[in-house]
Structure 1
Amino acid sequence: MSAPAISSSTASPPSFEIREELIPEDTSFITAAFDSCVAHLAAVDCAGMWGTQPFSEKDGFADSVRDDMVVASERFRNSGSTGEAVEDKVRTFIAEARVGPGADAGDGLDDSGLHYRVSDDGGITVRYLQVGAVVVHLDWFPHYIESQAGFAALVGKAKEARSQGAPSVYIEVMVSDFRVGHARRGVGTALMGRVREFAAEQGAKTLFVDSWSGNGGRLVRYYESLGFVAVDDFLVERKNKDPWPGKLLRMDPL
């Protein structure tokens, strides 16, 4: 259930570098990015998407980010060289903006609470501001999609295509850190570029994502602007809460 990576800022977008090798500190960044989305969504009257409780306060969430998004991604990334059979074929990509020597220092952004990575670039210490992340799976559908009777034929066709050497890729989530302000502008497009490259590397023919369809479908339209086409609406039933309205989208051929 992807979060918005939308920005209405008119400032010039920064250039992003997409990092593939994850580090333990990425767990903290991804969790903080989720929290920033919750605060933003609540502020724009869209709490229906993810509620109002920070993800960092939910039992087990940070552990899940570490195990299912960071550790699992590194396991799959390294499986090609080790020949290890990996059940969870998941990759996480981090978008960063260089804010060290020779780069914009961030237009006065308050460093408090923001996540930076420091790297040595030819003897020069460079800082990278962590801005966004995307998590993708190969040959996978979330349970709330597989359990929808209306998507049974689509899921079946995807599994048949996989058996014929044409896998699909599913975007589990794409988030950005709203606290970085205009530095977010363009991060969704940058991350999507890497997702499409990854899909091509894996021989995938179809890319799937699902979106919250509340707030007049603004997030759905954002994904359509990236090249996705709507498949159909769905509802996720929740105990003691209104159903969660969503829309499944796809992109093919890649």
Structure 2
Amino acid sequence: MPSVQVRPGSVTDLPAALSLLDDAVRWLTAQGRTGQWGTEPFSAIEARVEQIRQMLSERTARIAEVGGEVAGVAVLADEPMPYVERLDRPELYLQLIVTDRDRSGSGIGKVLIEDAVAIARQRGIGLVRLDCYAGDDGALIGAYERLGFTVEDRFTVDTGKAEPWPGAVLRMEL
């Protein structure tokens, strides 16, 4: 497989980001894992499209490419998502990370995490955090733990559905 290259991203990467997110929703749905993002493609929900557009235009977007094709997207910020408690110290927060499901296991996510760690170090920040879906069998948490994160906290978000959305905050001290 060709090497993974990471470049700065922008709102012009919105179609590629939505395509990756739509593919991830299809992949999760095919596995019966609908608790994370539901069954509707991101591109079909205007609020989600606007959320991703805002992330790409207002935060630090990083795009992983393989052979010139977008294979992953990460969005970095100085603060967590609104449903996660802020800390009294500087941090780099991964607000979004998604990779090409057709290239699963090829290390794209690891490269994006390493890129985020390098940016945190360049900025003199000693903590990288993210949050993720903590339902089903916890496989997503396990994937982040294998990349060097540890679980900091668990939480739920009221989404208006019968069951709240289960999440976990993970951290990596640098």
By the TM > 0.5 criterion, same fold?
Answer: yes
1:189-232 per-residue CA deviation (whole Å, 9 max, x = no partner) reads 11111100110111111111111112211000110011111112
1:78-99 per-residue CA deviation (whole Å, 9 max, x = no partner) reads xxxxxxxxxxxx211000012x
Unaligned runs of 5+ in 1: 1-12, 73-89, 99-127, 147-154, 162-166
4+ runs of 1 displaced by more than 3 Å? none
The equivalent residue for 2:71 is 131
Q: Supply the RMSD in Å over aligned alpha carbons.
A: 1.6
The equivalent residue for 1:169 is 92
Output aligned runs, 1:99-110, within 5 Å. none
State the secondary structure of the residue aligned to 1:51: coil
Output aligned runs, 1:18-97, within 5 Å. 18-22=6-10, 24=12, 26-66=13-53, 68-72=54-58, 90-97=59-66
TM-score (norm 2): 0.92
Q: CA deviation at 1:15?
A: 1.1
The equivalent residue for 1:142 is 81
Closer/same/farther in 2, CA of residues 97 and 184 from structure 1, 3 Å limit: farther
Closer/same/farther in 2, CA of residues 20 and 129 from structure 1, 3 Å limit: same
TM-score (norm 1): 0.65
1:97-140 per-residue CA deviation (whole Å, 9 max, x = no partner) reads 12xxxxxxxxxxxxxxxxxxxxxxxxxxxxx11100101101x1
What's the % identity of the aligned pairs? 30
The equivalent residue for 1:151 is none
Q: CA deviation at 1:34?
A: 0.8
State the secondary structure of the residue aligned to 1:238: coil
Structure possessing the higher relative contact order (Cα contacts under 8 Å, 6 or more residues apart)? 1
**Equivalent position to 1:228, from 130, 149, 154:** 149
The equivalent residue for 2:3 is 15
